[in-house]
Structure 1
Amino acid sequence: MRVLSLGAQPGRPVDAHGSRGFDVSAFGITAEAHLVTVRLKAGGVIGRHPAAGRQLMVVLSGDAIVSGSSGDPVVLQAGQAAVWEPNELHETRSESGLVALVVEGDVDLARTEREVEYP
Structure 2
Amino acid sequence: MKIFRFDQQVGQKINHYNSNFIMSKVTKLGSEAVIGCMHLEENGVIGFHKAVMPQLLLIVNGEGWVTGKEQTKIQVRAGDAVFWEKGEGHQTMTDTFLTAIVIEAKELKPEEFMPLKEVANR
Q: Normalised by the size of structure 2, how large is the TM-score? A: 0.83
8 Å CA contact 1:51, 1:85 repeated in 2 = yes
8 Å CA contact 1:52, 1:105 repeated in 2 = no
Name the counterpart of 1:43: 43
Q: How many residues align?
A: 114
8 Å CA contact 2:6, 2:25 repeated in 1 = no
- Cα deviation per residue 1:23-57 (whole Å; 9 max; x = unaligned)? 11111111210000001111111110000100000
Structure 1 residue 114: Cα displacement: 6.5
Unaligned runs of 5+ in 2: 116-122
Identity of aligned residues (%): 28
Q: What is the distance in 1 between the residues matched to 2:114 and 2:17?
A: 36
The alignment yields a C-alpha RMSD, in angstroms, of: 1.9
Q: What is the distance in 2 between the residues matched to 1:5 and 1:79?
A: 22
Higher strand share: 1
8 Å CA contact 1:59, 1:80 repeated in 2 = yes
Q: What is the distance in 1 between the residues matched to 2:90 and 2:114?
A: 27
Q: Normalised by the size of structure 1, how large is the TM-score? A: 0.85
**Cα distance change of structure 1 residues 47 and 85 upon mapping to structure 2, 3 Å threshold:** same
Show the 5 A alignment for 1:25-104: 25-31=24-30, 32-104=32-104
